[in-house]
Structure 1
């Protein structure tokens, strides 16, 4: 093959490969189905009086499935960066997916809580990703965010809705820093949360999170079920290598015989892959709790 043709050939291969990477599509379970009962999404009054994170204000929402009845306590799933998950557009579309999976019996009746990180001060940026307290709340290890949920957020939910007291029925999920936050909540309080959905998790040294693979190996196994996702083209910067960090998490969890599933794709630091596999991830995560 002549050099010019060889160059063109490799350029074409690289172009095709680049276009194929991160090319994830949403499936039918992420699409609204007119024959499926639809739950309701309620915009809650912003939280502006936190004692755990004083001076912060945050938006949050609740999803209540159509099948919910007070006579039968519902399961619970909390999402960090709630604004991204509560939408019926975009990559997650949690209310749509929950409607479809609950109707088909592939997951139990589950109330969703979607909560944003807090912002300090009276001015709140239009872009919810730019709030000031996200890094502190999500990346910091310890029990502060867990206490915030258990002491300040969920009691408000329980005023109006009955939630199961079985920790196997409580799940929490997030992406990036929201993912390590979700894992931290379950790690700190497995007596409350025992299911974790983690995508593009920031298990790197943003605030000490790179210690988790080692902590997992030296602590007694906790009763947590974890679904991990990441992409080979995720971030690599001075704080760490995200694909490597997630592989180390999976290796540690596997070594300690946790109930864990890991999906590694070719994606970048976004929700394309996570959103595409979200319905199947929920089937797996709730597979031991279907009713």
Structure 2
């Protein structure tokens, strides 16, 4: 059975485009809110001397068994119900409707954002696996299957999420990158990695705006870099979905798409 998309005229002037949020991004009186636990992580082995806030959101209808888990970089921004992402609201609504399985949301703030997020090595992936997820398991039972674990981020958080799943496909099998700042990673290695290295068992959702940073520049073009990563993944046969919007480098379009991105990951 196909899916028909209602007609919507393309904006001719792309300089300032905003998208309206859908019903999954709005609190509903018939949906019970999940429970959010917050704490500070200040004893990191991977990043000594840093301190960060962390939150874990467990859906109201969570079963007793191991649950899927989604780790959001820049956690406070994704958790804020008044911002664009509204991830806890989205999770509660999706779980209540059976659109995704009951899943634990993990919201991790950076300690040193650019140093952690814009690095091409596996340090951040190891930090999540060895330091963050064990703390999460003290709050809620989470699955250790890569197919049940997703990473999600915007801007530098998007390329941090992609880098982490690339280095640790044994720990994470799904990723959402929203307006990922791939050019900020030294040498922009991602397309070459995808070409040269064995295909991983990953499901990848990418979003970028047509007016993202440097969109008409020969260098540091974030739109082009996202398209190049998406094209490399498609050529290697990855399970990937690439959505290009008309916005700039902000969380609006990615936030509007977040419910559908999660539904697509767990389809």
Aligned to 2:49: 55
Cα contact 2:208–2:243 (8 A) shared by 1: yes
- Kindly state the Cα deviation for residue 111 of structure 1 after the two structures are TM-superposed: 0.3
Q: Compare the two structures and name the one with the higher helix fraction.
A: 1
2: CA distance between counterparts of 1:52 and 1:145? 8
| 1:74 and 2:67 correspond | yes
3-state SS of the aligned residue for 2:248? coil
Aligned to 1:189: 168
| 1:208 and 2:186 correspond | yes
Aligned to 2:247: 267
| 1:233 and 2:211 correspond | yes
Gaps (5+ residues) in structure 2?
A: 1-10
1: CA distance between counterparts of 2:247 and 2:187? 22
Superimposed CA distance per residue, residues 59-107 of structure 1 (whole angstroms, 9 cap, x where no aligned partner): 11110101113x3111000010001001111111111111111011111
Distance 1:213 1:63, change over 3 A: same
Superimposed CA distance per residue, residues 124-147 of structure 1 (whole angstroms, 9 cap, x where no aligned partner): xxxxxxxxx110100101111111
| 1:86 and 2:79 correspond | yes
RMSD, aligned CA: 1.5
Aligned to 2:228: 248
Between 1:272-281 and 1:241-250, the stretch displaced more is: 272-281
- Count of aligned pairs between the two proteins: 255
- Kindly state the Cα deviation for residue 116 of structure 1 after the two structures are TM-superposed: 0.6
- Of 16, 24, 40 in structure 1, the residue corresponding to residue 19 of structure 2 is 24
- Kindly state the Cα deviation for residue 20 of structure 1 after the two structures are TM-superposed: 7.6
Between 1:78-87 and 1:207-216, the stretch displaced more is: 207-216
| 1:223 and 2:201 correspond | yes
With normalisation by structure 2, the TM-score equals 0.92
1: CA distance between counterparts of 2:207 and 2:85? 14
- Of 75, 79, 98 in structure 2, the residue corresponding to residue 105 of structure 1 is 98
With normalisation by structure 1, the TM-score equals 0.84
Distance 1:228 1:49, change over 3 A: same
- Of 142, 149, 158 in structure 1, the residue corresponding to residue 137 of structure 2 is 158
**Which of the pair has more CA radius of gyration?**
1
Aligned to 1:13: none
Gaps (5+ residues) in structure 1?
A: 1-15, 119-132
2: CA distance between counterparts of 1:60 and 1:164? 19
